[in-house]
Amino acid sequence: MDENLELEERFAALKQALLEDDMQSFREPFLEMHIYEQGQFYQSLTSQERHRMYGYLSPKELADMFDVIEEDDEHMTDYLSEMRPGYAAAMLAEMYTDNAVDLLNTLNKKAVNKYLSLMDKEDASEIKELLHYEDDTAGSIMTTEFVSIVANQTVRSAMYVLKNEADVAETIYYIYVVDQENHLVGVISLRDLIVNEDDTMIQDIMSERVISVHVGDDQEDVAQTFRDYDFLALPVTDYDDHLLGIVTVDDIIDVIDDEAASDYSGLAGVNVEEVSENPVKAASRRLPWLITLLFLGMATATLISHYEELVSEASILAVFISLITGTAGNAGTQSLAVAVRRLAINDDKENNFVKTVISEILTGLVTGFITGLTIFIIVAIWKHNPILGFVIGMAMMCAITVANLAGSFIPMLMDKLGFDPAVASGPFITTLSDLTSVLIYFNIASLFMQYFIS
């Protein structure tokens, strides 16, 4: 049987059990499902069906499922508000701390304080500590549920600690070694504990070269460290090397998805995650950029109007306006995409600023020259006028070079000013290229007017 069809049938049977108020027929097959499938089932229910489900599951069982539901689900606030406050607070306390923090960050301050006040003081304290870290930093995505040991103990005692803490730890594949002041001094893997003799000292088998991130590091930099080293988890320290928590690979996958969506949104000048929004809300998100670009486009129209007399004397010039502006805009968008990607993966941004600008100018000159030469040949043959072809080709080369430079320089400038470089969106660069291309085109054309006046 097809897996999707089988899953749909299981979902239908579970919904029927909810409808018939049959707790036993619901709990066993529901808890046998993978947690991801539990989350998919939960999100497919109506509010009334979910209310019955809350009566069948403990806060811990619901927390396991909520750990895999994306915190950016637009209905997350509704899910929590429809639960009894005490039940919701207990569920949040049972979740992994970093996931609970992500969920609470979607709520207003009053709701957060309400749930924290209903929790056990120790659970609330852990969550409050993570809530204070700035968004998009290592501190905001780390968890405090990990296993740590000290260097002067044996493998036997370390295994005892691991067995006692494994149930609440988010991952046990890496065990971090600290000194008496909680400074991070080493790391050991689960494999190392298994293959070594019980009486072996941890300090003799631990690795002292520990790759870690600081609590204030940007989450993009943390993601890059994961890419570079292929870790499943990374320790997070303060600036005195005290071990504060760990970031796990599942959180980094979410970060990579979020950053990719952010970059795509910036390059397109629109929120790419608005696919499920109603038309009015989607339009309200798109309109600010469109109105801004409309005024920038009006500047281009005004510039063309300024050269109206030139166009009236040499009407052939109007034929090639869209060709030059469109090609330059495409070149600028290409340069923008490369620049944003380069900024995302380049650690040595300071030393590469000038090098990148020079590289993009040269790239623009090469692509502009070849494109300009191509259009020169086409126009010269088509219109039997090599001077007109030269004007179009020269304008094309200059416009592409300037667009290339703008596409790389603007995101780098934004990055230096502390803004997201992806905000320099494709539509913005394209519209800006239109403006500069028209200016370049008509100024070059005015120098050779007498050769192609119609």
Establish if 270 belongs to a structural domain: no
Q: Are 295 and 247 contained in the same domain?
A: no
Q: Are 172 and 49 contained in the same domain?
A: no
Contact 245/142 with Cβ under 8 angstroms?
yes
Q: Are 293 and 390 contained in the same domain?
A: yes
Q: Residue 7 corresponds to which amino acid? A: L
The CATH number given to whatever domain includes residue 198 is 3.10.580.10
Q: Are 242 and 301 contained in the same domain?
A: no
Write down the pLDDT at residue 33: 92
Write down the pLDDT at residue 401: 92
Establish if 269 belongs to a structural domain: no
Write down the pLDDT at residue 7: 85
Write down the pLDDT at residue 280: 74
Q: Are 130 and 161 contained in the same domain?
A: no
Residue for token pair 């890496």: 174
The CATH number given to whatever domain includes residue 385 is 1.10.357.20
Q: Say if residue 344's pLDDT is above 70.
A: no
Write down the pLDDT at residue 38: 92
132-159 confidence digits (pLDDT tens): 888 889 998 899 999 999 999 999 999 9
Q: Are 30 and 87 contained in the same domain?
A: yes
Q: Are 294 and 410 contained in the same domain?
A: yes
Write down the pLDDT at residue 276: 52
Q: Are 135 and 152 contained in the same domain?
A: no
This model's pTM is above 0.95: no
Q: Are 34 and 114 contained in the same domain?
A: yes
Establish if 261 belongs to a structural domain: no
259-278 confidence digits (pLDDT tens): 665 655 555 555 555 555 56
Write down the pLDDT at residue 412: 80
The CATH number given to whatever domain includes residue 16 is 1.25.60.10
Residue range 71-95: mean pLDDT, rounded: 85
- Assign 234 a pLDDT band (cuts: 50, 70, 90): very high
366 contact partners, CB below 8 Å, separation of at least 6: none
Residue range 171-184: mean pLDDT, rounded: 93
- How far from chain centre, in Å, is Cα 22? 42
Establish if 268 belongs to a structural domain: no
- Nearest 5°: the CA angle 25, 41, 108 is 120
Establish if 272 belongs to a structural domain: no
Q: Are 283 and 362 contained in the same domain?
A: yes
Which has the higher per-residue pLDDT, 359 or 324? 324
Establish if 274 belongs to a structural domain: no
Q: Are 86 and 212 contained in the same domain?
A: no
Half-sphere exposure of 140 (CA within 13 A, CB side): 17
**Domain final residue pick, 199, 225, 256:** 256
Establish if 262 belongs to a structural domain: no
Establish if 239 belongs to a structural domain: yes
Q: Are 433 and 323 contained in the same domain?
A: yes
**Which domain covers residue 119, as residue numbers?**
3-141
Token pair listed for 91:
């569920």
Write down the pLDDT at residue 345: 65
Please tell me the total count of domains within the chain.
3
Q: Say if residue 71's pLDDT is above 80.
A: no
